[in-house]
């Protein structure tokens, strides 16, 4: 007697059924493997170098400013300070990694890399390189002496002068490119115009932090005067850009959702401007007095507090506006990109200015408000860094607009 399972047509039916049942499992297995494979969004790992842009240095700015803010919180919180020092070491590693990757892009893909100077948006992010370095130098002055002693001061000073040169070149070269090689309009303008300009005032604030660590009076005087020059080199230009930005927002409304986080960039030059004046002003009396200019130092200290307070008030207006704009964007839904790091550094420098103002005026309100801003900064950093890590692992964030554009340079 013939068994049912021996019938040819039944065997074919059972085989087909088994194949159908296996396919979903295999498909899910393939998807699972792909989700855990790095750089799946790129044609090859080499593309991570080819698509690397200066935007990535914004990560070092946000990470660096959080490491500094944690160290400035009121009270003796050893665990918080250790966390800040850990972030500082992480930031050094990130800056070195990004520097190597960007250098490799220029070596391996020179023709494509040079197109950045003609791109109206990506070129602005050159300013993030000296600003990211400034956070590392400041961290060296905050965390370095306790770990390595005064031996780190010459290194910090040398790095600071390098940062000054980079910031000054960036602050002029990129605007020159805007005037001669790039296509801009008021309608397309965003706050990223500030990035190459603000680098100099970030170096100024860092210089104010450096001066008390220098042993030679002449070196202190040179760094302090240079810092004031850098402040003037940057802040008035940044404020003029903010005036144009206000006009642009009134006439053409909010920019595209991909630039949602840029609304916070306006807070950057204001917060850094306040911080710079407060830090430089606190060191001015002793340094100017050592050179027979005691009255100038006294005036500089007073101006630092007054200007710092005025800028803090202006920053409060911009921060409130940025919160409303951000809420509107999130209500509509926005996709994550590297621009989200703009939520971090401006808020961080404003928090530092708030804490410094509290120390200068001895008002508990500023201490409490500054601590709240640092807590908010920590939460934002955790959110943005997590998404950045995931996007970098899959490769989605390695995108160079210059390559995507047909023409980036006006010939």
pLDDT by 10s per residue, the chain, length 411: 445 445 554 455 455 444 444 444 445 434 434 557 899 999 999 999 999 999 999 999 999 999 999 999 998 899 999 999 999 999 999 999 999 999 999 999 999 999 999 999 999 999 999 999 999 999 999 999 999 999 999 999 999 999 999 999 999 999 999 999 999 999 999 999 999 999 999 999 999 999 999 999 999 999 999 999 999 999 999 999 999 999 999 999 999 888 889 999 999 999 999 999 999 999 999 999 999 999 999 999 999 999 999 999 999 999 999 999 999 999 988 999 999 999 999 999 999 999 999 999 999 999 999 999 999 999 999 999 999 999 999 999 999 998 876 444 444
Closest CA to 228 of 156, 172, 176, 283: 283
Residue 168 in any domain: the answer is: yes
How far, in Å, CA of 352 to CA of 349, rounded?
5
- Please classify residue 162 by burial: count the beta carbons closer than 10 Å to its beta carbon, then call 0-12 exposed, 13-18 middle and 19+ buried: middle
Residue 3 in any domain: the answer is: no
- Please classify residue 349 by burial: count the beta carbons closer than 10 Å to its beta carbon, then call 0-12 exposed, 13-18 middle and 19+ buried: buried
pLDDT for 411 equals: 42
pLDDT for 227 equals: 99
How far, in Å, CA of 85 to CA of 80, rounded?
9
Closest CA to 271 of 410, 183, 369: 369
pLDDT for 35 equals: 56
pLDDT for 405 equals: 65
Cβ atoms of residues 270 and 280 within 8 Å: no
Residue 81 in any domain: the answer is: yes
Number of domains in the chain: 1
pLDDT for 266 equals: 96
Closest CA to 190 of 138, 135, 120: 120
Residue 48 in any domain: the answer is: yes
Closest CA to 55 of 400, 380, 403, 344: 400
Residue 5 in any domain: the answer is: no
SS3 of residue 117 by DSSP: helix
pLDDT for 403 equals: 83
Q: Domain containing 285 — which CATH number?
A: 1.50.10.150
Residue 271 in any domain: the answer is: yes
Range of the domain at 190: 43-387
Residue 28 in any domain: the answer is: no
pTM of structure: 0.90
Residue 140 in any domain: the answer is: yes
Sign of CA dihedral 376, 340, 129, 178: negative
Sign of CA dihedral 242, 115, 44, 46: negative
pLDDT for 21 equals: 47
């Amino acid at each position: 007697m013939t068994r049912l399972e021996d019938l040819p047509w039944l065997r074919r039916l059972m085989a087909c059924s088994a194949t159908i049942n296996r396919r979903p499992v295999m498909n899910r297995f393939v998807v699972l493997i792909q989700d855990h494979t790095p750089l799946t969004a790129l044609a090859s790992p080499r593309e991570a170098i080819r698509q690397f842009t200066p935007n990535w240095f914004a990560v070092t700015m946000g990470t660096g400013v959080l490491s500094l803010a944690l160290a400035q919180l009121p009270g003796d919180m050893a665990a918080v300070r250790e966390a800040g020092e850990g972030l500082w070491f992480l930031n050094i590693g990130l800056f070195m990694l990004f520097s190597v990757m960007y250098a490799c892009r220029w070596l391996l893909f020179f023709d494509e890399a040079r197109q950045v100077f003609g791109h109206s948006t990506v070129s602005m992010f050159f300013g993030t390189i000296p600003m990211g370095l400034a956070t590392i130098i400041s961290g060296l002055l905050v965390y370095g002496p306790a770990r390595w002693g005064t031996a780190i001061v010459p290194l910090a000073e040398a790095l600071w002068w390098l940062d000054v040169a980079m910031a000054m070149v960036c602050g002029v070269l990129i605007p020159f490119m805007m005037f001669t090689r790039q296509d801009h309009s008021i309608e397309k303008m965003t706050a990223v115009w500030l990035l190459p300009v603000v680098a100099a005032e970030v170096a100024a604030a860092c210089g104010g932090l450096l001066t008390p660590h220098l042993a030679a009076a002449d070196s202190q005087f040179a760094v302090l005067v240079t810092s004031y020059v850098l402040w003037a080199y940057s802040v008035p230009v940044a404020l003029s850009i903010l005036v144009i930005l206000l006009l642009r927002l009134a006439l053409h409304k909010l920019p595209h959702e991909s630039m949602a986080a840029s609304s916070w960039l306006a807070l950057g030059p204001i917060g850094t401007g306040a911080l710079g004046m407060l830090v430089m002003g606190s060191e001015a009396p002793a340094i100017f007095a050592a050179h027979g200019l005691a009255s100038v130092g006294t005036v500089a200290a007073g101006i630092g507090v007054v200007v710092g307070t005025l800028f803090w008030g202006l920053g409060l207006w911009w921060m409130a506006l940025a919160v409303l704009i951000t809420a509107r964007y999130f209500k509509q839904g926005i996709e994550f990109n590297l621009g989200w790091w703009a939520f971090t550094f401006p808020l961080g420098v404003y928090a530092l200015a708030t804490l410094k103002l509290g120390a200068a005026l001895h008002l508990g309100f500023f201490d409490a408000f500054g601590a709240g801003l640092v807590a908010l900064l920590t939460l934002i950093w955790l959110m943005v860094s997590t998404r950045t890590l995931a996007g970098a692992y899959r490769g989605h964030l390695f995108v160079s607009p210059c390559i995507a554009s047909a023409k980036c340079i006006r010939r």
